[in-house]
Amino acid sequence: MKNELLKEIEQLYITFSKYSFNPQIKGCSCCLSNTDKFTLTSKPLRELEDDDINRFAYKTMTTWGTVDDFKYYLPRILELTAQNKLTVHTFIILGKLEYSNWKNWDKSEADVIHKFLITWWTYDINNRIRSLDFELFIELNKLLKNLPLLLEKWNVEVNEKGFVNYINLIEAYFEDIIQRKDEFEEFSNEEIKLLLNWINSNKKKLEVGYLKTKNEEIRESIKLVIDILKNR
pLDDT at 28: 86
**Please, are residues 43 and 51 in contact by the beta-carbon 8 Å criterion?**
no
Does the pLDDT at position 34 exceed 70?
yes
Q: What are phi and psi of 27, to 5 degrees?
A: -160, 170
The residue-averaged pLDDT of 91-105 equals: 97
Does the pLDDT at position 195 exceed 70?
yes
For residue 137, name the pLDDT band (cuts at 50, 70, 90).
Answer: very high
Percent of the chain with pLDDT over 70: 99
Task: Extract the runs of DSSP E, i.e. beta strands, from the chain.
Answer: none
pLDDT at 131: 61
The number of residues in the chain equals 232
For residue 207, name the pLDDT band (cuts at 50, 70, 90).
Answer: very high
For residue 231, name the pLDDT band (cuts at 50, 70, 90).
Answer: confident
For residue 31, give the nearest of 65, 60, 63 by alpha carbon.
63
In terms of C-beta density within 10 A (0-12 exposed, 13-18 middle, 19 or more buried), how is residue 93 classed? buried
Give SS3 for 123.
helix
Domain ranges of the chain: 2-121, 155-230
Q: Which of 20-29, 74-83, 221-230 comes out lowest in average pLDDT? A: 20-29
For residue 60, give the nearest of 84, 42, 46, 78 by alpha carbon.
78
Does the pLDDT at position 146 exceed 90?
yes
Does the pLDDT at position 85 exceed 70?
yes
Does the pLDDT at position 102 exceed 70?
yes
pLDDT at 75: 98
pLDDT at 1: 54
pLDDT at 187: 96
Supply the pTM of this predicted model.
Answer: 0.94
CA separation, residue 186 to residues 115, 137, 138, 143, 204 (Å): 24, 13, 9, 11, 29
For residue 32, name the pLDDT band (cuts at 50, 70, 90).
Answer: confident
Residue 64, strand partner residues: 27, 60
pLDDT digits 0-9 by tens, 148-158: 999 999 999 99
